[in-house]
Structure 1
């Protein structure tokens, strides 16, 4: 299938993500103008309403005010007084819950376009910011022409994996295996550059040993003991090197989706909440973010571009097997990939076992 031509819709998403990171105004599907609560700035800005995620609404005891027929819908709230940036950030950021314990009372209002509201939440996650917006803010000096317009259809175009292509490849001897090749993938209008490391000689008739590894700066580079990412990465490379020595081969997909897709800053916010006693699932939810937001269609596209049709997947997560199968990857075997815990990540691993279905 040929790659799509550059898309005006995908370009609008790229501009919207940039706008959200800079604290600028966006408008989804011609609806209300939105200002990101975390990054927004302007002297004296106020807004009559806020849009927050379903998960954050649960934390704020607003779950009973969500759209009755759609329990996971974002929530549009109004307070007795307009929201300024300080109060909006207190609503959005759980790190401020102790400093601002009294919030509300809030009244929920009907959301006319739920698809647009969900799109706003997803754009915030992709931008790596907290999913909360001032709605129709009064921003002095801003004009309608400064608002970045975007739509759910634009986001679908931006996420179209056919836009991902191989950008470059080179021989890359690594500590685990000298016979390795690195392949870089890039899509127009997306700053994330994913890579694959192919270890051994590629053999189209023999399914490779494959590991999907989502970027983890703290674990992979800094040696964090709070997770098992670094040891899992090293063990996967060693396993693939052993596979290559017996005539097989392996593929490590290194996906640029830090924190299971919530971004580095939000992952560190979740770490801080974990230090207060929340597990990894509850920490994400208090931030208003999903527990799982990784982009498995991107992994499927990378495998397709490498000519890989069937794989032996190294994972302890049956949901990952199902997700890949759901996007057309033939997983002929799940290969367990378990490492011993340490005192700092034991609870994290227990949570993966008990709350996200990992076989540990």
Structure 2
């Protein structure tokens, strides 16, 4: 087993621990932090953390989250928030979760004079990145730990390299013929990183000639749109429409990427929907939660194309970012194929936001 695979296992274990409410030790050999997610934090756990850290508890938040709270601060960094009088879970929830603080701006302003905010170091930033990988709110509580504590730990370098390491470790693990309504000559291929991780799928329509540009679509999974037929987005229409077009074309590949909610996960996407229901658009809702407007990573798509022997593509998308991402990874995008569907009363504002704030090439 090489070092990259060891690192993948370390981060996967840390993700599991963070999601079940356990503490994780992040160690760069010079300094160590014990980290817990704010989502599963209880007052009892917070008090124990404060004792372990001699009272020096830090709350790590993204610049996006602090901007959403009204602070004039760079969104490009993570920040350490310290409360000299001590944190309680209510204050942490107020600072980290917009669904508890949407009506509490005045309460936040009252607390503002009692907290200190500084730019977080690289180690604290990696703790926040781990929370994002775990599909939890991007907010963590941490305390300093002694370097000689005999606990399993994960390095910041392993966390920061996780996405690229997982993509490069993808292997084809299973495939089967799956006739579809509009494409009977279809099969589904499953790819998984060696030694565990999230699966990504490829829906292959017809017989692929890799000597010619292949019609493809990068489709991020959308439980609500793809499976339930939600009218809040256009994902279901794009999924089924892409398969229809590929069948009529004679062949094509749809890469079904495990990046729900533009990479924030299903639970956080539902939180974003709650924020949209009180007036935020699809971009602002993500920023309110502390995420970037788009957290997706297209390295898995590139790795899957390489494993399928595809180097030239005709990309079905309205999103120039996808074209740029594939091109940057060395994929020859010979053509962008528009892939838009009519709006409905529930997703019209969503589609307008994609045009106005995310640069999508759609005529509304």
The correspondence of residues 111-122 of structure 1 with structure 2, limited to 5 A, is 111=120, 113=121, 115-122=122-129
Shift of 1:147: 6.0
Shift of 1:154: 4.7
Shift of 1:99: 5.3
Q: Residues 94 and 162 from structure 1, CA distance in 2 versus in 1: closer, same or farther, beyond 3 angstroms?
A: same
Shift of 1:261: 0.5
Tell me what 1:131 maps to.
138
Tell me what 2:240 maps to.
234
Q: Residues 80 and 151 from structure 1, CA distance in 2 versus in 1: closer, same or farther, beyond 3 angstroms?
A: closer
Question: Could you report, residue by residue, the CA deviation over 1:295-340 in whole angstroms, capped at 9, with x for unpaired residues?
Answer: 2011000011001110000001111100111111110000000100
- Preserved contact between residue 127 and residue 156 of structure 2 (Cα < 8 Å): no
Indicate whether 1:79 and 2:106 are aligned: no
Q: In 1, distance between residues paired with 2:328 and 2:260?
A: 22
Indicate whether 1:150 and 2:155 are aligned: yes
Q: In 1, distance between residues paired with 2:9 and 2:101?
A: 36
- Preserved contact between residue 4 and residue 163 of structure 1 (Cα < 8 Å): no
TM-score, length of structure 1 as denominator length: 0.89
Q: In 2, distance between residues paired with 1:263 and 1:354?
A: 24
Tell me what 1:55 maps to.
64
The correspondence of residues 12-91 of structure 1 with structure 2, limited to 5 A, is 12-28=10-26, 29=28, 30-41=31-42, 43=44, 45-46=46-47, 47=50, 48-64=57-73, 72-91=76-95
State the 4+ residue runs in structure 1 displaced beyond 6 angstroms.
none
Shift of 1:159: 3.0
The correspondence of residues 186-265 of structure 1 with structure 2, limited to 5 A, is 186-244=192-250, 249-265=251-267
Q: In 2, distance between residues paired with 1:303 and 1:326?
A: 14
Q: Unpaired runs of 5+ in structure 2?
A: 51-56
Number of residue pairs the alignment of both structures matches: 343
Shift of 1:100: 3.9
Q: In 2, distance between residues paired with 1:25 and 1:204?
A: 47
Moved more, 20-29 or 38-47: 38-47
Q: In 1, distance between residues paired with 2:4 and 2:77?
A: 32
Tell me what 1:355 maps to.
357
- Preserved contact between residue 9 and residue 158 of structure 1 (Cα < 8 Å): no
Q: In 2, distance between residues paired with 1:6 and 1:285?
A: 32
Q: Unpaired runs of 5+ in structure 1?
A: none
Q: Residues 255 and 44 from structure 1, CA distance in 2 versus in 1: closer, same or farther, beyond 3 angstroms?
A: closer
Question: Could you report, residue by residue, the CA deviation over 1:170-192 in whole angstroms, capped at 9, with x for unpaired residues?
Answer: 21111111111211101134431
TM-score, length of structure 2 as denominator length: 0.88
RMSD: 2.2
Q: In 1, distance between residues paired with 2:314 and 2:91?
A: 50
Shift of 1:36: 1.1
Q: In 2, distance between residues paired with 1:204 and 1:98?
A: 51
The correspondence of residues 260-279 of structure 1 with structure 2, limited to 5 A, is 260-279=262-281
Q: In 2, distance between residues paired with 1:157 and 1:44?
A: 28
| Residue aligned with 1:136, SS | strand
Q: In 1, distance between residues paired with 2:61 and 2:127?
A: 10
Q: In 1, distance between residues paired with 2:104 and 2:84?
A: 17
Q: Residues 36 and 147 from structure 1, CA distance in 2 versus in 1: closer, same or farther, beyond 3 angstroms?
A: farther
Question: Could you report, residue by residue, the CA deviation over 1:210-248 in whole angstroms, capped at 9, with x for unpaired residues?
Answer: 01100000000011000000011011000000001xxxx
- Preserved contact between residue 209 and residue 240 of structure 1 (Cα < 8 Å): yes
